Amino acid sequence: MRLSNLSFRYGRRDPWVLSGVRLAFDPGDVVEVVGPNGTGKSTLLRLLAGLLRPVKGAIEERPGTVGYAPERFPADQPFTVAAYLRHMADIRRVNPARIGEWTERLGMDHLLGRRLPELSKGSAHKVGLVQALVCEPGLLILDEPFAGLDAATRAELPRIIGEVSARGGIVVVSDHQGGLRTFPAIRRHEVRDGSVRDLPAEAVSAHAPVSGAATPTDTPTHDAPPAEAATRHAPAAEVAAGNAPADDAGDSAPVTVLEVAVAAPKAAELADRLRAEGHAVRVTREAAR
Amino acid sequence: MIALVRFRIAGYVRSHRALQPLIGLLPLLAILYAAPVPAGQEIGATADSAGILIPVFAWAARGLLDSEPDEQRMISITAAGRREIISGILAVYAFDLGLAAIAEAALLARLSSGPSPVVLLTGVCLHFLAVTAGVALGALTSRPILPSPAVSSLVLIFGYLAMLLLSASGARWLTVPVLTWMKDGHHGVLLDNLPGLAAWSLLWPVVGLAAYAWLRRTRP
């Protein structure tokens, strides 16, 4: 897929959101789009998905099957999860049996009978992911896919992205959560001031906001100063959430040592959870009383 | 595409927003048919019904197209491509034809004499033309085209009023000739003029729907 000199603005009197963008994606590419809020990341994703038309330039050779998971899943719809996903499978002409595979994998079988408006943000987000994945997309667009997800799904999502890539699909992700920071062979592009530029891999760790790694569902207590954590390239919440378990990172992966301060009654539970996820945990200082 | 049509109608009906057009339809039918339709006035009555129900059809069309959240519409576009627009129009047509069938049934039930095939076919034809006009008006006032609910509602109401006023004026060729349906129906000349009127009545809604499809290219 190629973006040839692509420019976009929402109206004739509006400023250009993107200008003269040239990008090329090969089958199997996994691309992370980064940049400050409001710079045009979601606009770029919508252009890639074919939802917006370039004002100038063109997007060529877009894969035929596009999966799109928006930043906010539209949960205000009068369906149960099962009924909604069945409708989506019918629209995609996909065997409805495939829905079960994905709901099981994302740990949401128990939600199938629930009505969409009753879902929590994270659960609704999973429905958005399933509808995008069920069609085996040749182009998978994920807008902030890690937001609100539980630890298990945060750990599973990079594997799923890897599988789409291995099948030859192109995956484009906008992510402020740092969920793909350890993903191998990922390409990163920064959207800023209307242009899109390549980022070297090592630049991204410092780029992703440390506070953004924490989510309401999986935030352990951590007192590490942001600057220090950024220098070490791994915020506490990300490791606690199991985003980079040892078996994924491989034996030769570099190890980051984090200091995590946690309320005394929760320390044992947190340590057990981290150990269960494959991290080495050592208690260095216990509460004085 | 049929699956997407089914999904959109199911979403509209399950959300109970489908009841809103009935608030307009049922009182209008009650007023129109408070007294039985006298013999010889059947064609005029069916023309009145078709002309008066256009805003109800437009309201239902706009409501159905707007019932799904914007992000869901984008998901549907990635799933179905540009067929999403056609599926929306088909869903609206199907729902509006259901409303038209209710109106037709009410009319037939209040005829003093038994309905002749000519009355029946004229009613179907005029209500189809009214539905087409309503679908076009509703689509052009839907959220992707007019994001402000207030502006959209006003354009729908004044669009219908403009249709009535223009069709009563010398410039009636500029719009759907709603008042000409009614006038010809009550003067007994509608059947003679129907082929020409039908073509004329379809012209502007087809232009409107083409404009809707063209505008939607840049308004997902």
The tens digit of pLDDT for each residue in B64-114 reads 999 999 999 999 999 998 899 999 999 999 999 999 999 999 999 999 887
Question: Over A190-239, what HEC string results?
Answer: EEECCEEEEECHHHHHHHCCCHHHCCCCCCCCCCCCHHHHHHHCCCHHHH
Q: Does B30 touch chain A (CB under 8 A)?
A: no
Going by DSSP bridges, is the β-strand pair A2-8/A18-24 parallel, antiparallel, or unpaired? antiparallel
Chain A and chain B share a number of CB contacts under 8 A equal to: 66
Helix axes of B70-80 and A81-92: crossing angle, nearest 10 degrees: 30
pLDDT given at position B186: 93
- Rounded-to-integer distance, Cα B17 and Cα A178, Å: 41
pLDDT by residue (tens digit) across B158-209?
A: 999 999 999 999 888 899 999 999 999 999 899 999 999 999 999 999 999 9
- Rounded-to-integer distance, Cα B133 and Cα B203, Å: 10
Name every chain B residue with its beta carbon within 8 A of the beta carbon of A74: 68-72, 75
Which residue from B68, B78, B80 is facing A49, i.e. has the nearest CB? B78
- Rounded-to-integer distance, Cα B76 and Cα B26, Å: 33
Cα nearest neighbour of B6 on chain A: A87
Q: Does B75 touch chain A (CB under 8 A)?
A: yes
Q: Domain locations in chain B?
A: 2-16+24-216
Name every chain A residue with its beta carbon within 8 A of the beta carbon of B11: 77-79
- Rounded-to-integer distance, Cα B175 and Cα A202, Å: 64
Query: Do residues A102 and A130 make contact, with C-beta atoms less than 8 angstroms apart?
Result: yes
Q: Does B19 touch chain A (CB under 8 A)?
A: no
Contact A77 B6 (CB under 8 A): no
The owner of tokens 């052009």 is B140
Name every chain A residue with its beta carbon within 8 A of the beta carbon of B216: none
Contact A67 B4 (CB under 8 A): no
Edge-to-edge strand ranges of the sheet holding A30-34: A66-69, A139-143, A170-174, A30-34, A187-192, A195-199
- Rounded-to-integer distance, Cα B150 and Cα B147, Å: 9
pLDDT by residue (tens digit) across A194-222?
A: 899 988 765 544 444 433 333 333 333 33
Which of A42, A51, A77, A79 is the best residue to mutate to test the B interface, defined by the most B CB atoms within 10 Å of its own CB? A77
Which of B64, B78, B219 is the best residue to mutate to test the A interface, defined by the most A CB atoms within 10 Å of its own CB? B78
Confidence of residue A116 (pLDDT cuts 50, 70, 90): very high
Q: What is the pTM of this model?
A: 0.79
Query: In the Cβ-directed half-sphere of A184, how many Cα atoms lie within 13 Å?
Result: 10
